[in-house]
Amino acid sequence: MTDLARFNLPSGQQMAYRHLAGTAPTIVFLPGYMSDMAGGKAQAVMEWAQRRGRGCLLLDYTGCGQSDGAFADGSLSRWRDEVVALIVHLGIESVQLVGSSMGGWLMLLVAEALGDRAKALIGIASAPDFTEWGFSQSQRIALAAGRTIFEDNPYGPEPTPTHARFWSDGERNKRLAAGVAFDGPVRLLHGLEDADVPWEISLRLARALRSADVQVHLIKDGDHRLSRESDIALLLRELADLEG
């Protein structure tokens, strides 16, 4: 595994990352909400890239993992700008973005910002526009009023917060209706047993993408995480297929 490095952001905060030099395009893994680069899928992608001689970049958004900052200050726009700034700083000329859950929303924004540098996308249980479909009316009213809401967390003991800053920024970055101006190949993986992000969201995203080269893979017994050995094997097969 590559050594942990830190990037000094214009804010003065440091962003933690691991960068493996290799053949292009560099695979950039974008974690999900409140997740970081220590997750199983991110680690599997890095190990696969190392075996293949591929470039790979793992990172923690500010407020997450080993990066500086408070999670309450995070937003899609802020994290998009951080990711793009890091890619530019490292001199990476072409990328293949892999986004998990919220990272599947963020990869759309990063791809738009990078333009021709973004060559392909792989979404894992992608959750674009979840500020629109992921909350009840009462929750949306509370968030619009500037309040933080908390929900049960099936993956840990602490409740999951959604801060008004994140929600309002997400409302400004919705893409399912507006469309996604990306023309490269896209692969979307989604479990039919996903209790957090309806699998139909990947179908909506497929329609929203301008690219004609979009494939959706539905895993009948797959959950939201898609982190089983068989799920990760499918992800790595998709990465390999996109090499050709």
Q: Which of 67, 100, 101, 202 is catalytic?
A: 101
Spans of all domains in the chain: 5-127+185-243
3-state secondary structure the chain: CCCCEEEECCCCCEEEEEEECCEEEEEEEECCCCCCCCCHHHHHHHHHHHHHCEEEEEECCCCCCCCCCCHHHCCHHHHHHHHHHHHHHCCCCCEEEEEECHHHHHHHHHHHHHHHHEEEEEEECCCCCHHHHCCCHHHHHHHHCCCCEEECCCCCCCCEEECHHHHHHHHHCCCCCCCECCCCCEEEEEECCCCCCCCHHHHHHHHHECCCCEEEEEECCCCCCCCCHHHHHHHHHHHHHHHC
**1 has a pLDDT exceeding 80:** no
> Average pLDDT, whole number, for the chain?
97
Annotated catalytic residue 100: no
pLDDT digits (tens, 9 = 90+) for 148-169: 999 988 877 889 999 999 999 9
Task: Kindly tell me the burial class for residue 138, based on how many C-beta atoms sit within 10 Å of its own C-beta (0-12, 13-18, 19 or more).
Answer: exposed
Residues 32-49, mean pLDDT to the nearest whole number? 97
The class level of CATH for 5-127+185-243 reads alpha beta
Parallel, antiparallel or unpaired: strands 118-124 and 186-191: parallel
Q: What is the pLDDT of residues 89-130, one digit of tens each?
A: 999 999 999 999 999 999 999 999 999 999 999 999 999 999
- Provide mean pLDDT across the span 36-50: 97
- Of the listed 129, 190, 224, 231, which one is catalytic? 224
81 flagged as catalytic:
no
pLDDT of residue 244: 64
* Predicted TM-score (pTM) of this structure: 0.97
Give the single-character DSSP code of 184: S
Contacts of 236 (CB under 8 A, 6+ apart): 44, 45, 48
- Provide, rounded to the nearest whole percent, the portion of the chain with pLDDT above 70: 99
Has 101 been annotated as catalytic? yes
